[in-house]
Chains A and B, each alone.
Chain A
């Protein structure tokens, strides 16, 4: 039955996936994608139907598990933030060659303007690179509709499909009309051409040719797609191509209807036919695309001759950061961007580690001991503890990608640095730190690894952490000597003990692991509140 609901973009995707009869959602938390999986975890229908929704250790294990679901003919979605695509890339790119059997939709949530990320890479490149079609909804209704469409497209064209959303789609609410009639896709059904899934060179060579032919067909489908639209306008001095949510910023500026011909793109590969049509009738083409200038570069080509192409590369639009209804105004001939000057009295208020957080005690102790070693370097990682870079701690020297703390410390130690310290969270450690720890153990690198264990994935809001209760055994099994695996409780009263242990382990000429363990105060407070509410009832 159709009904209307107020949903975040992420929630619209999640609900559509449930209604489309998925067998599972596979994901590692990452802003702005986290709420998709959380919604499914909390959804009663998904629970009753036994939809798999447990968090995965990282994006690669998530992608591969979903590929397994697809192999047996059932439907799955995979969700991650854009940088998670880098972790999943090996599986993702090769899934373009195996193709899909049951519907497989990969949702990549990009974060232009880096609200909560270390870069603003554009996931559409991965789609193009892997010959996997990309969907880019322009509003929450399309997010719902296109999730269902994407799973169907995946089955019809026997390929994984990517859906690319950005922060403003993922974390914005609107009313969405949904159809809660749930599709049945419960039968195991093996792929017709089972050999395609064995990527031996001889098979892959054959598959590559098929994939390219398939991609051509997908391109033709994009020309006909109901989600791509050519809307004519009176002024042909310019045509505007608007991808994904950039369409909304365009229409915000055209409340009386569009002055220029507009091509809305929400389904890739690029609809070449529609683009050609615009190019034939318009003197220049303005490209509005969130993220990086993928289409603009494609239109411009390397020789840049012929039609004038305007966008982020030509300087008409900002080269970096999100588009807004304001910053596209000059390119549309609608005057300058209004001033964004704020009164000088307004001071920056950066995020900070919570009061009472265990990471604070870890940095207090580290700073105290490391002050004795002027040459020390602390290689950190991705998580709440990255905030140790800011005052009052200013305790870390690097943050690059998930797991890089351990391997960078090892490399620095290999090159002669002493002391080389790594600070990594429990969830990040199991995500991508364990293999690096094995490298360090195998070469007996003199590094001290601090696994700051708050028993959760904190930064994204307190999801389960894959290694909870297992960290010492993991480290021991990897080969860290048991006497150099030290567990402490990060509290101010334990500072003498903690600093003494750090001092001892810094001076050990091999791999030491220190595990300060205390529950995240956010999850602690939440559980206490729940307990109180339960006691009341």
Chain B
């Protein structure tokens, strides 16, 4: 049973209030009609599926009903952080100990696990 901190409610709640919605930070192509089949298929179906640190989208389904992100380890299942939509993760595959800031500006481009 996860206890998940909802960054909007500011509280820890039980897993059953939430639903996982798959990998986070997947941007819908700005112009779908201009996508090749390859790009569109990648957007729809291909996921990182890492064994390790994973950024995922969750929804507080029976709470505030807002979407937010969780960084979680897919083997230990440890939740490293939860953060609001639009924010960047502190914990990534490159920085498993965490970075000091969530600002996108001072971060190196992310590879695995984050594509936004």
Q: Do A and B come from one complex?
A: no
